[in-house]
Amino acid sequence: MLITPSILARQAVAHINQNADAINESLERLGTGRRIRRASDDPTGTVLALRLQSDIALTDGDRRRVEQALPYLQAMDAALNQAIAILQRARELVLQASNDSLTTDQRKAIAEEMTTLRDEFLQVANTRVGDRYLFSGTAILTKPFVANLAGDVVYQGDGNQMKVTLSNDEQVPITLAGNAVFQSGEDVFAVLKDAINAMKAGDGETLRANLLPRLDASIQQILNTAASLGAQANRSERTVDTLLLQKQSFQLVLSPVLDADVAEEVATYQLRQTTLQATLFAASRILPLSLVDFMA
């Protein structure tokens, strides 16, 4: 095959273009900080990067949802602990009022404090965060407990829980059905009402034999819910920490796949610049001088 000057010229131009493209590629990587600019740069790396980015997005979404749920969990836990403290004080009052040696005025004073405790308990059961009631199930804008004219407390919420769902299908409650907490097993409001009536009637026997056991059962009932809720809050706090660690792990794997090594790219850029200069010098022996000057 006869190698003519025109063939050599075409080859020289092709080499110059290749080196110029390579330099532009290095400049683009240095400018963006990305090793992979398009899928064709590294198909395998692109697939891995997309999967890792998807994992990071899922992790961030789960973390945001748990962080949004935590204030509600913590508020419910605090409310239940306050409710338990009120019932423990109520138990002390029932013990005092059951003493047969008390005068009518003394029992009346205890009954008045008991009435105050009942009102406080009702306020706790109607706890809300912002405009959301915590113990009305999914009817979050409805006040869960209302006292009627007879002094009975009526539940107005529903029997469900509002929850946030994570990508692994784990569910975190942000509200509870108040009737399941305060009126399942023992109706705590009825226990408090009956205790007040027994105090006013001076019925020490009923206070000792009936209302003390019912108060103990009421306290245990709420303790069980508080323990479950506290455990859920602790798990959720650990979940946030775990998700942060997972994200960091994904980012550590993603960085070398997606990000350019600046030092390596600078060295590559300098090498390609040197190669281009050498190619231009060699081409100057083949191509017309004016064309080489133009391309340089």
DSSP labels for 208-267?
Answer: IIIIHHHHHHHHHHHHHHHHHHHHHHHHHHHHHHHHHHHHHHHHHHHHHHHB--HHHHHH
The one-letter amino acid code at 231 reads A
| Joined tokens for residue 116 | 């105050």
The one-character DSSP state at 34 is: B
Count of C-beta atoms within a 10 Å radius of residue 30: 15
- Of 1.10.1740.10, 1.20.1330.10, 3.40.50.2000, 3.90.1150.10, the CATH number of 52-252 is 1.20.1330.10
The one-letter amino acid code at 167 reads S
pLDDT the model gives residue 294: 44
Query: Where along the chain do its domains lie?
Result: 52-252, 261-296
Extended strands (E) in the chain: 128-129, 132-133, 145-147, 153-155, 163-165, 171-173
pLDDT the model gives residue 293: 47
Q: Is the pTM of this model over 0.75?
A: no
pLDDT the model gives residue 120: 97
* Angle (CA) 83 182 128, round 5°: 65
Give the β-pairing of 132-133 and 153-155: unpaired
pLDDT the model gives residue 289: 47
pLDDT the model gives residue 292: 45
For every one of its 296 residues, what pLDDT tens digit does the chain have, with 9 covering 90 and above?
A: 545 556 655 665 666 666 556 565 655 664 555 666 666 666 887 788 788 889 999 999 999 989 989 999 999 999 999 999 999 999 999 999 999 888 888 988 999 999 999 999 999 999 999 999 999 999 999 999 999 988 899 999 999 999 988 878 888 899 999 999 999 999 999 999 999 999 999 899 999 999 999 999 999 999 999 999 999 988 888 888 989 999 898 888 877 776 655 456 555 656 666 665 666 666 666 655 444 444 44
| Joined tokens for residue 138 | 């999914």
CA distances from 295 to 13, 122, 138, 194, 286 (A): 9, 86, 72, 100, 14
Q: How far is residue 234's CA from residue 167's CA, in Å, rounded to a whole number?
A: 19
pLDDT the model gives residue 273: 63
